[in-house]
Amino acid sequence: MRRRDHNLAVAIPVSIVSDIPHLREKTLKIGLIGRAAAIFRVNEIIVFPDNLGANQKWDKNLIVTLLSYMETPQYLRKQLFKIKPELRYAGILPPLRTPHHPLAKRTKQLKVGEYREGAILSVNEFGSIVDIGVERHVLLPDKKLPVNKRVTVKITKLGKRPRVTLANREDIETYWGYTVTASKLSFGQLTKSRDYDLVVATSKIGTPLAEVSDELAERWKKSSSILVAFGAPTQGLQEIVAQENISLDKVADFTVNTIPDQGTETVRTEEALYASLALLNTIVK
CA angle 198, 202, 207 (to 5 degrees): 90
How large is the average pLDDT for residues 71-84?
Answer: 96
Q: 160-217, pLDDT tens digit by residue?
A: 888 999 999 889 999 999 999 999 999 999 999 989 999 999 998 899 999 999 999 9
Give the separation between CA 128 and CA 146, rounded to whole angstroms: 9
Asked if the model's pLDDT at residue 250 lies above 80, the reply is yes
Please, which pLDDT band fits residue 148 given cuts at 50, 70 and 90?
A: very high
Tell which wins on pLDDT, 18 or 95: 95
Strands 254-257 and 198-208: parallel
Give the separation between CA 27 and CA 21, rounded to whole angstroms: 11
Q: Could you tell me the residue ranges of all domains in the chain?
A: 7-97+177-283, 107-168
pLDDT in the model for residue 45: 98
pLDDT in the model for residue 55: 81
Residues of the chain by 3-state class (helix, strand, coil), percent to 5: 35, 25, 40
pLDDT in the model for residue 3: 86
Tell which wins on pLDDT, 3 or 99: 99
pLDDT in the model for residue 27: 97
Provide the percentage of residues in the chain whose pLDDT is more than 90: 82
**CATH topology assigned to domain 7-97+177-283:** Alpha/beta knot (3.40.1280)
Give the separation between CA 67 and CA 49, rounded to whole angstroms: 16
Are 150 and 118 a contacting pair, CB within 8 Å?
A: yes
Number of C-beta neighbours around residue 44 at 10 A: 16
Class of the 107-168 domain? mainly beta
Q: 1-54, pLDDT tens digit by residue?
A: 788 989 999 999 999 998 898 999 999 999 999 999 999 999 999 999 998 877
Give the separation between CA 141 and CA 45, rounded to whole angstroms: 33
